[in-house]
Amino acid sequence: MQIYLPIAEVSVNAFLLLGLGGLVGVLSGMFGVGGGFLMTPLLFFIGIPPAVAVATEANQIVASSFSGVLAHVRRRTVDFRMGTVLLIGGLIGAALGVQLFNTLKAIGQVDLLVRLCYVVFLGVIGSLMFVESLNAIRKTRRGAAPKRKKHTWIHALPFKMKFRTSGLYISVIPPVIVGVMVGVLAAIMGVGGGFIMVPAMIYLLGMPTKVVVGTSLFQIIFVTAFTTLLHATTNFTVDMVLAVLLLVGGVIGAQVGTQIGTKLKAEQLRILLAIMVLAVCGKLAFDLLVMPAELYSLGAPGGH
């Protein structure tokens, strides 16, 4: 069934969009990532104009994250305090990121920068997670006792705060910095930033994996809602019909994903996420390295 999208001004198959939404929703619920880093390129691929894809995807992430976070709230696996601290950083970062994005747009080549950002960040994070979780799986197989958390420089910083749900007593500076960095990258790359935040929470802040997913979703809701409003009011690129189709599939998928997530071990979850991140990274790197079939592309004048 073909549906004409009023803002994107293209006609697409409704079931294809429902399916894509569902698929990405499952991943979102499983890993606590918004799924934007997968969905945005997929939307480009089916012919949605990039500006509309990025803006609408932000709206869809709000829905799937909200659906996902409710399940986590009931299981008490959301650290609201940590989420709020991250969110403050995230909003500052998003505002900075939009500024940076516009500056780079004026110079040109913002497309390339976005792609390179994806390849570098997905590549680094994916490989780090892959190696780490592989080691963790090996250790549990051998039955060795898990290492006690070491005290690092992070514990020497001021403004300490108790994060009971995460079982942490650390300074608020590292979470705020993580929030800002994720916010900047999220604005540039047009994604929620979960795939960067989840590893940052695990490896930098030392949060337990079970809490990480819910907290990440909690923060993503607000950052993407902010981005949606920004896009809707400045670029007029949020397509409500597209968003509804994606989110109907997305919210159902997110529920299924959350269920699957609870049945898997933390290490397994991380290694799966790592493989997925690396696959997307590989695809994007491949596109940059291999000669494209069509060397020419069309764009609107005065920007991308």
Partner 1 sequence: MLLRAITVLLALSAPIAAEEVVAGLSRDRISITTNFDGSDILIFGAVKREAEIPEAPLQVIVTVAGPSEPVVVRKKDRRFGIWINVEGVEVDRAPTYYAVATSAPWNEVLTETEDLRHRVSVSRAIRSVGAPGDVSNPERFTEALIRIREEDDLYQTNIGTVEFNQSTLFNTSIRLPANLTEGNYTTRFFLTRNGRVIASDETVIFVDKVGLERFLFDLSRQQPLIYGLMSLAIAIAAGWGASAFFRYLRG
Q: Is 49 helix (H, G, I), strand (E, B) or coil?
A: coil
Residue 9 lies near partner 1 (rule: CB under 8 A) = yes
Min CB(96)–partner 1 separation in Å? 21
Secondary structure element (H or E) that encloses residue 162, with its range: strand 160-163
Q: 70 with 78: CB under 8 angstroms?
A: no
Residue 228 lies near partner 1 (rule: CB under 8 A) = yes
* Closer by beta carbon to partner 1, 167 or else 299: 299
Query: Residues binding partner 1: what is the number (CB under 8 A)?
Result: 58
Min CB(304)–partner 1 separation in Å? 9
Backbone angles phi, psi at 290, to 5 degrees: -95, 145
Out of 106, 144, 156, 289, name the contact with partner 1 by CB under 8 A.
Answer: 289
Neighbour tally for 47: CB within 10 Å: 11
Residue 293 lies near partner 1 (rule: CB under 8 A) = no
Interface region with partner 1, contact rule CB under 8 A, candidates 38-46, 176-184, 203-211, 229-237: 229-237
From 61, 176, 195, select the one nearest 120 (Cα to Cα): 195
* Closer by beta carbon to partner 1, 58 or else 176: 58
Out of 70, 128, 154, 177, name the contact with partner 1 by CB under 8 A.
Answer: 70
Interface region with partner 1, contact rule CB under 8 A, candidates 2-10, 93-101, 138-146, 275-283: 2-10
- Provide the CB-side half-sphere exposure for 111 (13 A, CA): 12
Q: How far apart are CA 63 and CA 5, in angstroms?
A: 19
For the chain, the straight-line distance linking the first and the last C-alpha, in angstroms and rounded, comes to: 31
- In sequence order, the 6+-apart residues with CB closer than 8 A to the CB of 296 are none
Residue 47 lies near partner 1 (rule: CB under 8 A) = yes
The residues pairing with 3 across neighbouring beta strands, listed in sequence order, are 12
Binding residues for partner 1, rule: CB under 8 A, are: 1-4, 6-7, 9-11, 47, 59-60, 62-68, 70-71, 74, 109, 111-112, 225, 228-229, 231-234, 236, 238, 240-241, 243-244, 247-248, 251-252, 254-255, 287-292, 294-301
